[in-house]
Amino acid sequence: MKNAELRAMALSGLEEKLLASKNDLARLKSMRAGGTKSEKPSDIRTTRRMIARVLTLLNEKKTRGEVSQAQIQAAESAAIAKVAGPAKAVPKTSPKTAIASKKKKGAQ
């Protein structure tokens, strides 16, 4: 994606692009750590550069006064909610609590 296309995007579009790029980077890094080779070894570098471009544009808009910090945070939270999907139910006991209760039972 070219810089002109990124500059034409709205704030919410930039936030979504940022989150998608960060997710791609995490996926690529986990593939590399797992030993799987990607088709293009330069994918990690290009993804990191895309993240840098989007962050630069967000900071430019912020310093020019086109958007406020509150608008950036609102768009970021909306983009996170869109990417993450609906919230999942939290289990009643966390793994740490379960381990702690097993240790207590064993000590008695």
Q: pLDDT tens-digit profile of 21-72?
A: 999 999 999 988 888 877 888 999 999 999 999 999 988 888 888 777 777 7
d(CA 53, CA 1): 10
Nearest to 53 by CA among 61, 31, 108, 101: 61
* Residue 13 reports pLDDT greater than 60: yes
**Percent of the chain at pLDDT above 90?**
27
Given this model, what pLDDT does residue 71 score?
75
d(CA 74, CA 86): 17
Domain map (residue ranges) of the chain: 3-86
